[in-house]
């Protein structure tokens, strides 16, 4: 006759093994993609730009701007603003030039999906909305198979908006997790918004009924609004529109938006209504319009009106 105690012991051992196996399988299922990441090939995320809820303030930074990864890891850059940006690795010896909106090498994706460390790679235009008149995408990914320190830029905003990827030998311990980067990026976003609000207040001090500030930026935040957008003047008065920023271009466009928003059109010295366009106003540029007829004349920034950069001039006798 077999011992019941022995049978009970075997049953308990079997039950323990089954319970342990179920627990292990549940843990592996919960880990999901993280388990794949531990194999040595991780995917990291970087935010491209930032913005306030009403899109009036736009950030000019990659978040994080510096990231440490290992060989064979992937970075995915996610559009985080309505303002257009690019993720661009210049070719060896290639200088950073002012943005050319007519060059498809700058507007569209160039290069493969694995970075070779020396050739030209470009995301094309990235934005989190559909930008009128421009091709755009919402994200961009690259694999980094080689060690090195690699700097990249936003072609639209130049040297003020750059990032660095540090690629180390496979198996090197990571100094920061994605959660660490996300936490620091959220703090940086809040800082950018504070900077943008302060910049808006500074621009308001420069504006009056005959001087409208056409946006502004300080290398950290961009104000995508006309500051004092609605003014009232008399027939014969002149209103000066001034771009006092450091980097971002704007336009002042009355009437129908022209096919080529980058070129001036119309006569700003004798404006009585209809179509008038400043062309691209780079930082430091001013556009003076003399109003020779009564009425209410609406205008936009043809680059940023989809964000709410619009205004009107009321002309009375």
Give the model confidence (pLDDT) of 40-66 as tens digits: 689 999 999 999 999 999 999 999 999
> Are 308 and 225 spatial neighbours (Cβ–Cβ below 8 Å)?
yes
Mean of pLDDT values over 52-81: 97
What does each C-alpha distance from 4 to 1, 8, 81, 173, 261 come to in angstroms? 9, 6, 71, 53, 91
Give per-residue pLDDT as tens, 280-295.
999 999 999 999 999 9
Mean of pLDDT values over 18-34: 37
> Are 20 and 159 spatial neighbours (Cβ–Cβ below 8 Å)?
no
| Identical fold between 30-195 and 207-316 | yes
pLDDT at 19: 43
Hey, which CATH number is domain 30-195, 3.40.50.300, 2.60.40.420, 3.90.470.10, 1.10.40.30?
2.60.40.420
Give per-residue pLDDT as tens, 172-187.
999 999 999 999 999 9
Q: What is the mean pLDDT of the chain?
A: 89
pLDDT at 40: 63
List the chain domain ranges.
30-195, 207-316
CATH superfamily of 207-316: Cupredoxins -  blue copper proteins (2.60.40.420)
Evaluate if residue 7 carries a pLDDT over 50. no
């Amino acid at each position: 006759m077999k011992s019941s105690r022995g049978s009970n012991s075997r049953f308990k051992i079997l039950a323990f093994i089954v319970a342990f196996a179920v627990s292990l399988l549940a843990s592996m299922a919960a880990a999901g993609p993280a388990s794949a990441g531990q194999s040595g090939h991780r995917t990291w995320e970087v935010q491209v730009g930032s913005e306030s809820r009403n899109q009036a303030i736009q950030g000019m930074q990659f978040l994080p701007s510096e990231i440490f990864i290992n060989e064979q890891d992937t970075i995915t850059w996610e559009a985080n603003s309505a303002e257009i940006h690019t993720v661009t690795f210049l070719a060896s010896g290639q200088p950073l030039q002012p943005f050319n909106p007519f060059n498809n090498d700058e507007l569209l994706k160039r290069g493969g999906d694995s970075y070779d460390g020396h050739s030209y790679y470009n995301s094309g235009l990235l934005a989190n909305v559909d930008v009128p008149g421009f091709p755009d995408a919402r994200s961009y990914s690259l694999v980094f198979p080689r060690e090195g320190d690699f700097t990249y830029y936003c072609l639209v905003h130049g040297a003020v908006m750059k990032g660095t990827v540090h690629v180390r030998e496979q198996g090197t311990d990571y100094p920061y997790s994605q959660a660490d980067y996300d936490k620091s990026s959220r703090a940086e976003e809040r800082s950018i918004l504070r900077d943008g609000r302060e910049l808006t207040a500074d621009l308001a001090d420069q504006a009056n009924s005959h001087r409208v500030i056409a946006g502004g930026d300080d290398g950290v935040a961009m104000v995508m609004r006309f500051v004092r957008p609605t003014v009232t003047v008399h027939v014969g008065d002149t209103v000066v529109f001034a771009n006092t920023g450091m980097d971002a271009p704007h336009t002042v466009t009355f009437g129908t938006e022209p096919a080529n928003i980058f070129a001036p059109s119309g006569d700003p010295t004798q404006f009585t209504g209809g179509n008038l366009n400043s062309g691209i106003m780079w930082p430091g540029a001013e556009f003076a319009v003399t109003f020779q007829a009564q009425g209410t004349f609406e205008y936009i920034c043809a680059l940023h009106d989809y964000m709410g950069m619009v205004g009107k001039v009321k002309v009375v006798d």
